[in-house]
Chains A and B, each alone.
Chain A
């Protein structure tokens, strides 16, 4: 009997001593592909998820609300209720996830996870470039998402009111338990500019791949931000800095404009690649979307874009001029940067510089030998031409909605019009509806202010 108890005690002791060695046994990863993001390569891998950061986000509420396209009556009937409401600016309650709001904040959160974790990694002489690139890229991606969000969910930037206007939720850490609160439009834009300015010195001049951000695209994004704020001197400054690094344009004469897919992916003009893979609003998909007929007829016959950008469909014309085969390109390309600089120069009164930029672009868009350089007597006349060419070059790039908002602030008086079954729907300039609604479930859950409409 004595022995029995001794053995039991002994066994107990052995079991107790076994415990610590189990810790190591249990630390084996259950899946080789799993990782806690704690190294620079892990963080870079998160940023290299092109599906999430450059692609699948089908953010398109703005494009779907804009006027580069229309949907024929019978195809309109095939659209979802949400999409029909968006098309006619009837921004009623919607909750369907995934939606633009969610996609934008998915990108923000990835950037935040990277930013939170990169701070934990010490900078050494060896990893400095990589570290910088990661932090700069995360800041860039967050700004890109915030700017997209501001274009959709906020009123146009206005120095007089933006301190009071409802902006975005400025989530700057990856803590998912933080409550969501809307900042002002002013704070939203300030954050974008501040982040981009801190990203610029961290990023390389040109990227290893256009799926990654770089100085040229960060400058271009700064220019785009200032343009949407109508701060033209800054816009000109950063567009210029961007073009100093990369200014190459495609000559459309070297492109097979008759092809169904005329432009290759990652072509020479692409600075930062971003697409709408599956739009959340199907109405902008070529299946439904027909190009505004006035816009189509505004292309001259020697303008190669007429053939490269459109094919005849039934009814009307369909867009095929994306810089990404089969998906709408929504990234940053050199043509946009030229047009931003041209517009800013014109608005700043430098007619010649403005026209020079415009002609540099257009000569590569017209059939060889047919292009007559654009001339104008005043900077204002030049501005008018530049704005028309901007629309003709940058259609279906998720830019039109932002343009309508800011141009109406400049007094352009653009009235949007839809006709469905003979009934006409209008959207007046500077209408409250230009700040599109947030998802209803988010409003319910967080108690944030919905945009009035």
Chain B
């Protein structure tokens, strides 16, 4: 890396020499603004006799002139050209340009590496401006994209994980292995930290880079699209501007009743049935005293003659009326409230700009969990020399959170090994009740005859004694240097340091159940002396964990701009190094006193006998250490050539390398390229249409690839720690050498039309794209005789073709005193499997549409099912087809499916059509905006009753009550009869049959936004530039759904997002 230093030094030396030669020239600075709006204009071409430049995003420019003997010519596609003679007075020039008629306002999009005037962009960019971002409220900036960005699909059904943190995709997934999130760029660098650390009030705009040409400049991680977040900044020569925003967001209690839960009556009837069958025999006599449900305890007492038949019946009837969710809603959940305050100050003089913002969010969640966030942001730009611009920014975020109560588990309350839906948390007077979650009540009543700690669990009280506090600090510092070497060439050097630290502290004090349980479990009572010995010392248990992320980014970039007559070239080339280092550590402290900071020593080395059944166990030390490094090196170049401002050709090239382990160095480097073309048809002489005063065509093509982490040329092992019995370090194979794996390749073709009708009554763009994926990764069955620890291995399993259309239209329906605007977003996306490499002898199974569909010609993600033959009229058994005959031989049915075509195809598992319609009506200061979103043309699989799960885990489903009970029922139900013992194949057949498929189509009221601007009429002497009062309601529920079962397809078996209301004030002065 020392070479970089020499390189920079050389560049500076050369630059200095060039400067000397240019001595007879003088530099003028200035700014280009719109004659009407006084807004700065970026992208104006300014030429002097010898030089030429383009104005920056803030409208400023600097250019060398021959003093007293020169003229500046300013040209811009959206504006009338202007010529300004340069005299000897070289003060800061403010040059006004008048708009050409019927032309869209000049917009530049940021790729994070450069600003591209929209009219020269060949690729697919979406720009979401500040106003649109403010339609929605909330602390997470990315969630605000829901319903306002075209091609962006939010998917709540998928579980968020390390690979998929944000829960949405742009133009569908390009890979199912590896990272599935779009790449997030904040200003100029990829953002590694927690997205919640970004204060949305600091954000100016967001650009979405969707096609290969737009995204490929970001290389490897751009396969899922790129989101460029641009923060607010001060501008040169900008008067002081203060922005204040405060709001309160209230989120209603979650709708627990939308969970598919079996009724308590049905559940207890099943318990009775199983009890009579003797299914709980071993559990009842279990020496581990595993907890049993209240109903089972009653049956046992009745069987032992401890209670009368009448008492037993009335006790059972009493608990049948209990639904645990009622107590949870009454005693546990509350409406969540977040208060947000944000203030920023910005401005600038001739040679410096500043931006200072502070934000404070305070939230209390549904479970009384608390979170605080404070953000501070300082940004400065300084021009010490005409050719030199330095920028420095510092962002500091501090978060504090404290855990709350324990929420409702989606399956019920766990009692022993089973989930039970009818537990009470408090009696009818509101006094809290203990819940026997681990051990039977009868046992914990008397265990240790008073010598042990209380062994009861009180859910309503416990959270006070078992709390987790987390403290996060995030610090980002950026330094930038831009130097204009010569007229055509500038060098940019940017550096960013990011440090995110999070420390968590879980204190379970001596009154908490987990600590009491731990101490009791490892206690021994000497039978003769009655003395208790503790292996886990008396006192609190403290679990501490910390994580630290440090990221360094450095980028050197050359920017080249040259305009020669009708030719104009814009090019950048650069190199980037990135390192992220993350460390975690955790440990557990026993016998802890939070007041005195005393601790006790514990024997982690030996096994200790446990109290209940005498089995042995280790006391967990909770130690966890890890240290990870990710390093990336990239080279990139991007050039655009424009001829006569009509034709633009663009190309980009990037190579990325990372420190993937176990991969040959040659495989570490991946090339990405793209090419594009744009044609401003309006500027052709033959174009006469007055209907479309603005019409532009563009096309791009690009290639990218994906290498799987498990593509390993060698066997890689991971050290797992110390083996508890031996104290020897031990390791496990984490990657088997899999030399057969090839790269996943995706080629993307994109066509776009940007247009505007006269007076911009309707404007918008239409995009068509095609993705061609080959050798897609997917799980494929393997011969595990090879000892691969799994029966599936990532292999190249399929090719796909994807077609998509995105339409984005803005219309001015009424543009008078009352204004009515409509934005229509429409996306169509359908990916098809074009080849599938099945393993030999593979049996095909239906699923939930999350894996690549094996049927060639059908959507890549499809809902496939076993063919449904109705219920057997005599038994209520689900029936399928075996060689065209009705059959209940499920195993034979499964085994007969040796070709994927034998499965029934319902339709795609992802929406074929989706988008939203946003209407805004303005009248005087009032403004109302409503967004309706839709997802159409897809199917999903409902959850239903799984008798195996019901019998062994207590997880039921409301479908249970609609099951087949007697002959004739098959006329109106598809839900199989209860069969005991559980037949897993029968359950599996039903759950994956056509009978559980529903249409997913739905229309949702996304949000309503109401605002009043007090300062809109701009009366003289108004102190505020603007003062806006707003109200927002979101997650308002479905307007229409295709399925008759009343299921929200976005949340088929989970709690839907709760209704959210916000009210606030936004003001500028």
A contacts, CB < 8 Å to B: 3-4, 6-8, 10-11, 14-15, 17-18, 21-23, 25-37, 41-42, 44-46, 48-52, 72-81, 84, 92-93, 95, 97-98, 101-102, 105-110, 112-113, 169, 171, 174-180, 208-209, 211-212, 259-261, 264-266, 287-288, 311, 313-315, 325-326, 440-447
Contact = CB atoms under 8 A, between A and B. Distances in A.
Given A36-B662, A446-B783, 14 more contacts: A21-B3, A29-B659, A31-B627, A34-B661, A34-B662, A34-B717, A45-B729, A81-B984, A177-B786, A209-B725, A209-B728, A265-B725, A442-B784, A446-B785
B1024 interface: no
B716 A35 contact: yes
B723 A442 contact: no
Contacts of B627: 31-32
B286 to A, nearest CB: 8
Given A45-B729, A92-B891, A313-B282, A105 B633 contact: no
Contacts of B730: 45-46, 48-50
B277 A30 contact: no
A3 B486 contact: yes
Contact of B726 (A42, A76, A101, A209): A209
Q: Chain B's interface: helix, strand, loop or mixed, by majority?
A: mixed
A214 to B, nearest CB: 14
A51 B984 CA distance: 29
Interface in B687-736: 714-720, 723, 725-726, 728-734, 736
Given A32-B628, A52-B732, A81-B984, A260 B558 contact: no
Given A48-B723, A265-B607, A25 B631 contact: yes
B287 interface: yes
A79 B981 CA distance: 8
Interface in B654-671: 657-662, 665, 668
27 contacts: A7-B14, A10-B10, A18-B575, A25-B1, A30-B660, A33-B626, A33-B720, A34-B716, A35-B719, A41-B729, A42-B731, A45-B719, A46-B730, A46-B733, A48-B728, A49-B720, A106-B789, A171-B787, A209-B726, A265-B607, A287-B286, A441-B791, A445-B782, A445-B841, A446-B783, A446-B785, A447-B840
A367 B791 CA distance: 50
A175 B10 CA distance: 52
Interface stretch (B32-40, B613-621, B851-859): B613-621
A75 B716 contact: no
A10 B14 CA distance: 11
Question: What are the 8 closest A-B residue pairs judged by CB atoms, nearest first?
Answer: A109-B787, A444-B841, A74-B278, A77-B981, A45-B731, A176-B786, A97-B791, A105-B787
Contact of B7 (A14, A28, A51, A113): A14
B726 A26 contact: no
Contacts of B573: 11
B953 to A, nearest CB: 12
B840 A444 contact: yes
B716 A176 contact: no
A266 B725 CA distance: 10
Contact of A74 (B279, B485, B657, B659): B279
Interface of B: 1, 3-4, 6-7, 10-11, 14, 18, 277-279, 281-287, 485-486, 488-489, 558, 560, 573, 575, 577, 607, 609, 613-616, 626-631, 633, 635, 657-662, 665, 668, 714-720, 723, 725-726, 728-734, 736-740, 781-791, 839-843, 891, 895, 951-952, 980-981, 983-985
Contacts of B278: 72-75
B784 A102 contact: yes
B631 A37 contact: no
A265 B614 CA distance: 13
B713 to A, nearest CB: 10
A267 B288 CA distance: 23
A31 B828 CA distance: 41
Contacts of A315: 281
Contacts of A36: 662, 714-717
Nearest to A289: B282
A110 B485 CA distance: 60
Given A26-B633, A102-B791, A35 B717 contact: yes
Contact of A49 (B6, B660, B723, B790): B723
A314 B281 contact: yes
A93 B729 CA distance: 40
Contacts of B732: 46, 49, 52
B785 A325 contact: no
A29 B715 contact: no
B661 A4 contact: no
B716 A22 contact: no
A351 to B, nearest CB: 41
B661 A171 contact: no
Contacts of A209: 725-726, 728
Nearest to A266: B725
Contacts of B717: 34-37, 42, 45-46
Contact of B485 (A7, A28, A52, A78): A7
